[in-house]
Structure formats: C-alpha cells, structure tokens
Amino acid sequence: MGKIKVVHYINQFYAGIGGEEMADHRPEAREGAMGPGLAIQAGFKDEAEIIATVICGDGYFGENLEDAKKEVLELIKQYNPDLVIAGPAFNAGRYGVAAGTVTEAVQNELGIPAVTGMYIENPGADMFKKSVYVVSTRNSAAGMRDAVSKLVPLALKVAKGEEIGSPEEEGYLERGIRKNYFTDKRGSERAVDMLVKKLAGEEFVTEFPMPNFDRVDPNPAIKDLSKATIAIVTSGGIVPHGNPDHIESSSAQKYGKYDIEGVDDLKEGEWETAHGGHDPVYANIDADRVIPVDVLREMEKEGKIGKLHRYYYSTVGNGTAVASSKKFSEEFSAEMKRDGVDAVILTST
C-alpha cells in the first residue's frame, strides 16, 4: 500500500482567509496542506499525505447546511481520498458543527473513513460523538500540538481499518458503545472491589458510567399572578418575517430577542418560523400557535397577569446541542432577571 491520500477540511479562519468578516466564504479546494494541516502532515511522516484542503466559511455552512454539505462533498469526492480529517475545531461552535457534519457525511455518503476533533463542550461534539470518531481536544488552538498527537494515530488506524481501542486508549470522546470482553474476575467480584474502594474513599473506574442529567429544583409558585411579569421563550423559531438574525433552521448557533410592545396578535406576513424539520405552514399562518401572544394579551387586559414582558427570546431546537441551549439560556435568563420578569412560558413546536 502506498501513501494514504488525505483531504483536510478547515474553516476560513484556519485557511488564513479571514475571521468573522469572511464567515460567508463559499466552499473551495486548494492543493496540498495548509494551516493546521501542516502540523498534521508532519505527524503523518511518510505514511500519509494531505493532497488537498477543502475550505468553507462557518457562517456559510451554518446558514446553508444542506447546500454547503453537498458542495463540500463534491469537492472532496473529486480527489478520491483514502481518508478525510476535519478540524480540529476546539471550542468553536459553528466550526464544530460543520466539521462534524462533514465527517459524518463523508463516512456515510461517500464511504470514506473520516475523523474530526473538538472540545467536549463544543455543540458539534454533543451532536456527532456517537456517529463518528471525535478526538477530544482542549478548548482553544493553544492545544493544537496535543490535538494533533491524538488525531494522527487515530486517523491512520481508521484509514487502515485497524481495530480501534477504547476512548481512554485512543483519545476520542465516548461513543456510548459497549463491547463484550473476557476477564479473569467475574462481575460480582469486580463490583464488590469497586464498592470497597468507594466506601474507603479510594479511586475506582466504573465499567458502566451513567449519563449525568441536570436536575433543576422548581421555583416556588407565584403568589399573585395578577402582579406578575410573564415572558415568552421559545425553541419553535418564531421570528419577524425574513428572519433578520438568520437563525439557523437546525443546529442553531444563536437566538433572537424581539420586541412585542404593542403587539396583540402575530399576523401572517409579519411573523414566521425559522424552524426546520416540520411543516411550517400553520406556524407561518398564525405564529400565536407557537408563542401565545394573543392569549397572554387577553389575560393582561383581564388582569389575570400583571403584564407580558416587552421582549421574547427565540431559537430553533431542531438538532441544537444541549451545550448551545444552556449557553443561550444563561445569557437571556440573566437579562430577564434584571428586567424584573417573574415567570417564563417556554414553548416549542
């Protein structure tokens, strides 16, 4: 077998094209390695060669997900590579989603081995770690050397079809896959050993880590709704007509804040949904079906609630990572608290 032919996917920043002002850069391909690809190429030594680099702006990819994916795949396919590497994206959210999307599509649609790398809290990691190999990196490019040191050996193993070890051995994020293996101690004995260590305050490694779900204690009930300020938050993607903030139809990287002062009814042609993955017709005809502005205005006039908050906050829940959602909510929750909001009605599709 000769050298493994590799195509590398990066964003506009790592290609040296520019920052946010060039985020709408359309997909293109350039010969050879560039940016972080130079470090990856050095790690390959004589085993593999980056024959081309495919570049796409994070903004363009996020706002044109299906078209951008198709364009990137066409560029990759023309080189007939043995392996594709995307990133590493570290903690850059849009870049992580793009890198994960490309890796999964290359693997599933082109049948070419592919790997990527990103920080565990990157939204792309949460979305793609179960379907592709995502090397665990630090949260910024300061960890490039560490990322490459793990990315290169894993990528070569994937390209060669070699057996991949555990996440701890290979440095990728856990994929939720369990494998049977033989050991000289039966399960009951191993379990007792772990229990004894736990009771003694000693370190031990569980064989079956459980998911760690957030548990939020509910706030006490509002004593007097007639004096309460109620706000609306939605993951149903309701936005002013034209989607002025360009909130993505899936895997949202942003949210919008919109003024509804003096608005009693969300009229067709003035409001719409940015949400993908479902039929938007009825939401576009009457956005009050997703966020009940009309009903809350009636309750406000009848004195059942104190008032409806002047602003509502909207994003799209379709494929959006939990990490992104938490980041959004931390920002606008603090803002609503400062504005004296007493309660929030959260709606979806």
Q: How many domains does the chain have?
A: 2
| Domain final position from 170, 185, 207 | 170
**What pLDDT score was predicted for residue 333?**
95
pLDDT above 70 as % of the chain: 99
Same domain, 98 and 19: yes
Q: Give the confidence band of 206 by pLDDT, cuts at 50, 70, 90.
A: confident
Reported as type and span, the H/E element at residue 310 is: strand 307-314
Position 269 pLDDT exceeds 70 = yes
Same domain, 268 and 140: no
Burial annotation 24-50 (CB, 10 A radius, 16+ → b, else e): bbebbbeeebbbbbebbbebbeebbbb
**Token output for 332:** 């606008």
Position 323 pLDDT exceeds 80 = no
**pLDDT tens column, 49-67:** 999 999 999 989 988 989 9
| Domain final position from 170, 185, 200 | 170
| Residue 209 in domain | no
Same domain, 52 and 162: yes
Same domain, 232 and 162: no
For the chain, the average pLDDT equals 92
* 154, 115 contact by CB (below 8 A): yes
Same domain, 256 and 131: no
Same domain, 163 and 237: no
**What pLDDT score was predicted for residue 95?**
93
Q: Give the CATH number of the domain where residue 122 resides.
A: 3.40.50.2300
Position 1 pLDDT exceeds 70 = no
Position 20 pLDDT exceeds 80 = yes
**Residue of 63, 95, 122 whose CA lies nearest to 316:** 63
Reported as type and span, the H/E element at residue 51 is: strand 48-56
Q: Give the confidence band of 233 by pLDDT, cuts at 50, 70, 90.
A: very high
Same domain, 119 and 240: no
Same domain, 17 and 157: yes
Residue 42 CA: distances (Å) to CA of 12, 25, 39: 22, 27, 5
Average pLDDT (125-143) is 92
Per DSSP, helices labelled H in 173-222 are 187-199
What is the distance between the alpha carbons of residues 20 and 42, in angstroms, rounded to a whole number?
29
**pLDDT tens column, 79-125:** 999 999 998 999 888 899 999 999 999 999 999 999 999 999 888 89
Same domain, 229 and 166: no
**What pLDDT score was predicted for residue 208?**
77
| Domain final position from 138, 170, 202 | 170
| Residue 219 in domain | no
Average pLDDT (273-293) is 93
Same domain, 84 and 152: yes
Domain that holds residue 231: 225-347
Position 347 pLDDT exceeds 80 = yes
| Residue 71 in domain | yes
What is the distance between the alpha carbons of residues 307 and 226, in angstroms, rounded to a whole number?
8
| Residue 213 in domain | no
Same domain, 21 and 147: yes
Position 43 pLDDT exceeds 70 = yes
Average pLDDT (279-293) is 95
Alpha carbons within 13 angstroms on the beta-carbon side of residue 296 total 26
